[in-house]
Structure 1
Amino acid sequence: MEHVKSIPCAVFGASGYSGVELVSLLHNHPHFSLEYAFSSSAREDAEPIASLYPQLAGQLDVILQPWHSDLLSQLAQQVRVVFLALPHEASAAIAPALINAGLVVFDLSGAFRLRDSSAHFQAYGFARPDDLPTEIPYGLAEWTTLIGTEQLIAVPGCYPTVSSLALKPVMSLIDGVPMVNAVSGVSGAGRKAAGHTSFCEVSLAAYGVATHRHQPEIAQAIGRDVIFVPHLGNFKRGILATIYAPLKSGVSQATVDKAYQQAYAAEPLVRLCQQPPAIKNVVGTAFCDIHAVVHQNHLIICAAIDNLLKGAAAQAVQLANQYFDFAPALGLQQRGGVV
């Protein structure tokens, strides 16, 4: 591993919240090198990333560039891996060209997560392009095995990441439909200004009730229908999910604990906690913290992640580590976070 050459990478959407976290992680990674950072908007001029994020001045000497399709040939010659932190439809439009140019693509949007085309159209409102790989891995990192030949990997959404990591180890013990209540910080809405996500306007409230596009993604990941209610909280980053699920008869706390230990004992970025986790414990980290308790023949699970890291950028890098046979937590164990 000491003699591994640096793997050149590019980030599309580097001006957004998840994109700038990717830029920071790749810049500091021992085996990935950031060669290009393309902005997520139609900016005409290149500019230092510190002009958008002044806290990076003197730390990240990265230039944000506008993307033009005539750069594709140059990009393909100089880069091996591309991370897309773009809007869903923009990722769907550009991914085929990147793949055809021989690049490996990790996509952080929802463009390729849902296997069912009709469910995808209902959730996102557009049809995916036809010229895509037959099999697109859904990259829930602890539950995915990449062999290093895949062309396109779909990185899960933030809510599905925390919900699926919490539920998958115990699905065989659950009898019925799990209910997921999850609260996210305002950074989950992205950097683009909007009145309803302005920090001063946000009050704790549910949204997307029975209509949120992450519901079918969670159901696909756990292999069962789910009731999902997201909430927006007036804090910057992090997700706390509280999940309720009826248990099969006779399931004990010891059985539940064993299921989680078997699933995650060897996973360095999942922490099984003795107390319900707090968002402050995971913000700026790539960890998912999980606490589960049996009560009145139900399982109550509390789980927390940083939505921009474990729910987006850090999970993408974790998958890239796996793709290139690096340790899963390489470059991800230092507390940080840009936004």
Structure 2
Amino acid sequence: MNVIIVGASGYSGAELARLVASHPKLILAGIFVSEQSLDQGKALSDLYPQYTGLIDLPLQPLNSSALQFIAQHADYVCLCTEHKVSVDLAPQFLEMGKRVFDLSGGFRLSSDEDYQRYYGFSHSQPELLAQAAYGLAEWNAHAIAKAQLVAVAGCYPTAALNALKPLVNAGLVSDFPIIINAVSGVSGAGRKANIATGFCEVSLKAYGLFNHRHSPEIARYLNHDVLFTPHLGNFPRGILETIYVHLKEGVSSEQVTDAYQCLAQEPLIRLLGDKIPSINGVVNQAFVDIGWQQQGNMLIVMSAIDNLLKGAAGQALQCMNIAMGLPAHFTLVGGQHD
């Protein structure tokens, strides 16, 4: 399949370009940025020297000629763009008959009201919200396989949902909201220059209290109320979530362990039991590491991912693998390319 990446100069886009370029069943047919981008005309390897000799393609402006090229040559279009930009672009590529994999949040929620509240804009394509398949690979493969539009799951929700869906689906969780305390590296804030997210400026700090856009995403696909608080940490990449779950009366540790066995055969999920996951354990890998410890009715679940791999580009590649009828983890086993 010929793959086009729009927004390839950002961290997630560049990571995805690397994954596609190394994939034996995919061809990286073109990489694009906005017409206003200062990166247009540069090779991706100019921005990311580690890709020298692997991805020396130029970053082309997304103009009318580019759209004609995409119409003629692309099978899959991956959008690594701002949320509202994805909402504007996706219909154009769908009308061309392309399968679209959107790494933004443009199609993850259920209504225009949600977008006005959590994203700050009115959604111009509300009819596509019902059509988009949620791209959480381990849980929604059947829908992903058939969908023309895939809303790749967010980074924080990927860690939270894989850690919590086994418990909720097994009926082990009480009606109390689940408390999610999450910390991400600064790459999660994107590549654009911003003093607040500059490495020397970042301290461990909470943000988005009560209104972060990933809160409704987690609650929607978990079907349970959550209290989600993200933090920005002074490290480049990775997410660690510490999650506090109030179990129903009498739930045993054996029941909790049994609930997680639904993920035991997933190649990119590592169930650590009572061991504590760490960011160092997942950086530059496509795993989700999940550990848990219980005391009475209280359960602490810990989940770690690389936000740019399993939380973005790696998960998008899983969705493309599923669309091609390949195992979702193809080329991602062990977190590296075989």
Is 1:135 aligned to residue 131 of structure 2? yes
- Cα distance in structure 2, aligned partners of 1:147 and 1:111: 16
1:178, 1:243 within 8 Å by CA — same for their partners in 2?
yes
Among candidates 25, 50, 56, match of residue 55 of structure 1: 50
Matches within 5 A, 1:208-247: 208-247=208-247
Corresponding residue to 2:143 among 130, 133, 146: 146
Question: Does 1:266 find its partner at 2:268?
Answer: no
- Aligned-partner SS, 2:237: coil
* Alignment partners' CA distance in 1, 2:199 and 2:144: 42
* Aligned pairs, number: 330
**CA displacement 1:257-306 (0-9 Å, x = unmatched):** 10001x21221111101311110110101110000121131111000000
The percentage of counterpart residues that share the same residue type is 47
Is structure 2 residue 169 aligned with structure 1 residue 174? no
246 and 100 in structure 1: CA distance in 2 versus 1, 3 angstrom threshold: same
User: Is the Cα–Cα contact under 8 Å of residues 134 and 144 in structure 2 kept in the other structure?
Assistant: no
Residues 15 and 40, structure 1, Cα contact 8 Å, conserved in 2 = no
Work out the CA distance in 2 between the residues paired with 1:132 and 1:18.
Answer: 27
> Counterpart in 1 of 2:76?
81
Deviation at 1:113, TM superposition (A): 0.2
3-state DSSP class of the match of 2:303? strand
Q: Contact between 1:321 and 1:330, CA under 8 Å: does it hold in 2?
A: yes
TM-score by length of 1: 0.94
Work out whether residues 285 and 333 of structure 1, in 8 Å CA contact, stay in contact via their aligned partners in 2: no
TM-score by length of 2: 0.94
Aligned-residue Cα RMSD (Å) equals 1.6
User: Where in structure 1 do 4 or more consecutive aligned residues deviate above 6 Å?
Assistant: none
78-87 or 52-61: bigger deviation: 52-61
Q: Say whether the 8 Å CA contact 2:267–2:333 is kept in structure 1.
A: no
**Mind listing any 5+ residue stretches in structure 1 that lack a counterpart?**
1-6
Asked if the contact 1:16/1:40 (under 8 Å) is kept, the reply is: no
Residues 1:68 and 2:67 aligned together: no
> What residue number does 1:3 align with?
none
**8 Å CA contact 1:21, 1:309 repeated in 2:** yes
Cα distance in structure 2, aligned partners of 1:99 and 1:200: 42
Which amino acid is the alignment partner of residue 194 of structure 2? Answer: A
Structure 2 Cα separation of the partners of residues 208 and 296 of structure 1: 31
Change over 3 Å in CA distance of 1:148–1:245 after alignment to 2: closer
Distance 1:41 1:210, change over 3 A: farther
Question: 1:252 corresponds to which residue?
Answer: 252
**Which sections of structure 2, spanning at least 5 residues, go unmatched?**
none
Say whether the 8 Å CA contact 2:144–2:319 is kept in structure 1. no
Distance 2:330 2:35 in 1: 31
Offset, 1:167:
0.5
Contact 2:133–2:144 at 8 Å: present in 1 too?
Answer: no
**Matched residues in 1 for 2:321 and 2:54: separation?**
23
C-alpha separation in 2, matches of 1:185 and 1:266: 29
Q: Which residue identity does 1:329 align to in structure 2?
A: H
Indicate the residue corresponding to 1:190 in structure 2.
190
Q: Which residue of 2 aligns with 1:25?
A: 19
Structure 2 counterpart SS, 1:273: strand
1:38 equivalent in structure 2 = 32
After TM superposition, give the deviation of residue 143 of structure 1 in Å: 0.7
1:332 aligned partner, one-letter code:
L
- Kindly indicate whether the alpha-carbon contact (under 8 Å) linking 1:174 and 1:245 is maintained by their aligned counterparts in 2: yes
**Partner AA of 1:21 in structure 2:** E
Provide the secondary structure at the position in 1 that maps to 2:240: strand
